Structure 1
Amino acid sequence: MHKPVYFFLLLVMTIGPFSQMQSQQKRIRDYGIELGVLSTGPLNAITDVPGVRVGHSTLISGDSVRTGVTAIVPHGGNVFQQKVPAAIYIGNGFGKLAGYSQVDELGNLETPIVLTNTLSVPVAMNALITYTLEQPGNEQVFSVNAVVGETNDGRLNDIRGRHITEEHILEAIVKAGSGPVSEGNVGAGTGTMAFGYKGGIGTASRVIPEKAGGYTVGVLVQANFGGILTLNGQNLAKLLDKVPSSFKEDTDGSCMMVVLTDAPLDARNLKRLAKRAMLGLARTGGIASNGSGDYVIAVSTAVENRIPYMSAGVSAEIKSVHNDHMSPLFLAAVEATEEAIWNALFMAEEMTGYKGRKAGALPVEKIINLVRK
């Protein structure tokens, strides 16, 4: 690792100048609202999938910088040397997702996944390349397919200032941990909005029954989109007087969805799994509007399906859940995506940002009362 980056990261890990916000908010399930029928994992987070780690770098400075980075690391080894099966589904392609074509062509992921703001995709790609090239064992690597997703936080953040640096990306990767995941106004969700309220990062998980395989599906979202806010089929947009007055300004935006599972799946069935996350977005009232970049990255972390950089022979065996047994995983992806979006909303806090623009927090108590009625 370059010495300036190395010493910066030592400083970050020691004193945490870009520390994550510690929200006092509660998740939706803490209010007794249960979405779906499947059980959650112990943390109800993407990190319930064994080996998965998540890290944030949060930038809040002055009255105009409200942005950040979120990194999702699929396993604890060298991801380039031990690639994982992956697929990307485009719900609506008004976005700047980097690395799509190679994942679609080869069916695997070879770097951590980074989420950030729209204009920081190039610096994030560069940081992922730096990170990968400097991993022990990668000394002879000459090509890296960095995967970076984004949403536009330009309402609350001075996005044209391009405040994200390579060091912030590396910080998020280095800080990635396997425990509870910070949600709301953190990382790539620092400056985002959803349904006219403050949005952010959210996560959730589902465990399918043992008779169906007992696998875990975890989802993390970067919620920054609009639509007709809906909870368990109840039209909250009308009840909260939040029906969009402009279907351009009030419904545009983006949502990045990352779906990880320990189920052994090939790229084909991962693409099918990714499609179901869009149904979870729809359950919350998202409509994948014209100006929305809605992407799903789906990854299998199953150890037996890791793909070595240097092949040992002409052919390889990939184990995959049979088509006839995919439905429980589909349901898990739908439910976990829906709850992850709601967790992003429930955990986000009011924020004032660029040019004094304000994003109010979701009126949680009012929603709880409406649901109880």
Structure 2
Amino acid sequence: MSSHSISPARAHGLVCGDLQPGAANRITDVAGVTVGHQTVRQGSFRTGFTAVLPHPGNLFLEKLPAGVDVINGFGKSAGLIQVEELGTLETPILLTNTFAVGTGINALIRRELSINPDIDRSGGTVNPVVMECNDGYLSDINSMVLSETDAFAALDAASDDFDQGSAGAGTGISAFGFKGGIGSASRVFELGRRNFTLGALVQANFGKPGDLILPDGRKPQPPAGGQIVERGSVIVVLATDVPLESRQLKRVARRAAAGLGRLGAFYGNGSGDIALAFSTAQRLPHTNDSDFIARDVLQEDKIDLLFKAAAETTQEAVLNAMIASPAMQGFKGRSRPSLADWLENQAG
């Protein structure tokens, strides 16, 4: 195992499953995928944008196959209906807070218009994908502080090296009564004598306090106070370089729920739990002179490896998000403790 694959969870001896992690143990182990943050942390604000760029080219003209699974639909995301219908992804993915979804939509449209000025003139409209979690416990969400400039900053900051924990869209969120955040993990495996990767990135803002189950069976108990019911959300973005079509990607996305369940989640009534998966193996042209597209697609009975990888990476990514997040005090003096501190106290 590469030293780079020692994630925040693994640094505390918490290993999720038995598949091998990638070199950095992040979603960016899938070649071409990059992630960027814009963090707003001042006064009563603990919020931001996180951008996932699926490939470095013109995503509108060279779309990727994608699938989405809505585990529990108490959420205000944008663009998922078209992903479900057409099975393609044609913009970067923005993660943010609930009241900044509209801002993210406008930012993605403006960015795509600047790159592809013929959109809606000769090229058809564009489908911006924005997903959200409510960070209103630690941040003054009603002030709607985030701007399109913040979204552009997250897009421009995208690279294969990015912070986990309280950064970007993970700045003001909570998980299982602890501080939540942005987390990531990856797995590598062999299919058809070739090496492939699947990576996950999560925006972890879910889980009833006291319900968290660690891979070693321990159940951390956060201090009393604050939210005591499950009214959070979790967004899971899965990327892979395995050639898959949209129906298969929806099936892979659904297995993110297995990773959430291992952590003790039960997808409460007020939780928005969504998983989106895409494949970088083949770009689909926006226009094509041919009536048909030749594509490689994984044989269905080989897909279990991806199901397992989706569950393991989702579970580990959530733990990484929490462990990488320090304790935080925010809006109205509310606070969330750090899972890392709990683990250190247990070790002591």
TM bin, normalised by shorter chain, reads: over 0.9
Give deviations 1:37-94, integer Å, cap 9, x for gaps. 00011000000000001000000111x1110000000001000000000011000000
Task: Indicate the residue corresponding to 1:61 in structure 2.
Answer: 42
Q: Deviations over 1:130-189 (max 9, x none)?
A: 0111115756444110000000000011101001100111110111012x3201110000
TM normalised by structure 2 equals 0.92
- SS in structure 2 of the partner of residue 176 of structure 1: coil
Give 2:301's match in structure 1, choosing from 314, 321, 324.
324
SS at match of 1:131: helix
Contact conserved, 2:222 with 2:337, CA < 8 A, in 1? no
Instruction: Report SS of the residue matched to 1:134.
Output: helix
What are structure 2's unaligned runs of at least 5 residues? 1-6
Cα 1:196–1:106 shift into 2, 3 Å: same
Offset from partner CA, 1:293-340 (integer Å, 9 cap, x none) = 0000100011xx211111221112232111110001111111000000
Name the CA distance, whole Å, in 1 between partners of 2:195 and 2:265: 30
Match of 1:283 in 2: 262
Identity of aligned residues (%): 43
Output the amino acid matched with 1:263: V
The CA deviation at 1:212 is: 6.6
What is the identity, as a one-letter code, of the residue corresponding to 1:359? R
SS across alignment from 2:63: strand
Superposition deviation, residue 105 in structure 1: 0.7
Matched residue of 2:251: which SS? Answer: helix
**Judging changes above 3 Å, is the alpha-carbon distance between structure 1 residues 130 and 36 closer, same or farther for their aligned structure 2 residues?**
same
Match of 1:345 in 2: 322
Deviation at 1:252, TM superposition (A): 1.8
Contact 2:36 2:157 in 1 (8 A): yes
Distance in 1 between residues matched to 2:117 and 2:61, nearest whole Å: 8
For 2:324 and 2:310, the matched residues in 1 are separated by: 21
Report what 1:38 is aligned to.
Answer: 19
For residues 219-263 of structure 1, give each alpha carbon's deviation from its aligned partner in whole angstroms, at most 9, with x where no partner exists: 0000000131001261404xx367x999x8432200000000000
Q: What is the correspondence of 1:195-344 to structure 2 with a 5 Å cutoff? A: 195-209=176-190, 213-227=194-208, 228-232=211-215, 234-237=217-220, 240=221, 249-302=228-281, 305-344=282-321
CA distance in 1, matches of 2:196, 2:166: 30
Alignment match, 1:11? none
Matches of residues 168-183 of structure 1 in structure 2 within 5 Å? 168-178=150-160, 180-183=161-164
In the alignment, the residues of structure 2 paired with residue 366 and residue 111 of structure 1 have an alpha-carbon distance, to the nearest angstrom, of: 39
Give, in angstroms, the shift of residue 210 of structure 1: 5.2
- For residue 189 of structure 1, what is the aligned residue in structure 2? 170
Is residue 324–residue 340 contact of structure 2 (8 Å, CA) maintained in 1? no
Contact 1:181–1:203 at 8 Å: present in 2 too?
Answer: no
Once the 2 structures are TM-superposed, how far is the Cα of residue 214 of structure 1 from its aligned partner?
2.1
* 363 and 55 in structure 1: CA distance in 2 versus 1, 3 angstrom threshold: closer
Q: 1:341 to 1:224 in 2, by over 3 A?
A: same
**AA partner of residue 100 (structure 1):** L
d(CA) in 1 for partners of 2:317, 2:213: 14
SS in 2 for 1:208: strand
Compared CA separation, residues 233 and 275, structure 1 to 2 (3 A): farther
Q: 1:352 to 1:278 in 2, by over 3 A?
A: same
Report the 3-state secondary structure (helix = DSSP H, G, I; strand = E; otherwise coil) of the residue aligned with 2:229.
coil
Whole-Å separation in 2 of the counterparts to 1:184 and 1:56: 11
- One-letter identity of the residue aligned with 1:350: A
| Aligned 8 A contact 1:233 1:283 in 2 | no
TM-score (norm 1): 0.86
Q: Does 1:358 align with 2:335?
A: yes
Matched, 1:70 2:50: yes
2:82 is aligned with 1:82: no
Instruction: Kindly state the Cα deviation for residue 97 of structure 1 after the two structures are TM-superposed.
Output: 1.3
CA contact (8 A) 1:58 1:186 kept: yes
Give the residue type in structure 2 aligned to 1:152: N
Mapped to 1, the partners of 2:230 and 2:344 lie a distance apart of 20
Amino acid at match of 2:241: D
1:127 aligns with 2:110: no
Alpha-carbon distance in 2 for matches of 1:161, 1:177: 30
Task: State the SS of the aligned residue for 1:105.
Answer: helix
The structure-2 alpha-carbon separation of the partners of 1:42 and 1:253, relative to structure 1 and needing over 3 Å to count, comes to same
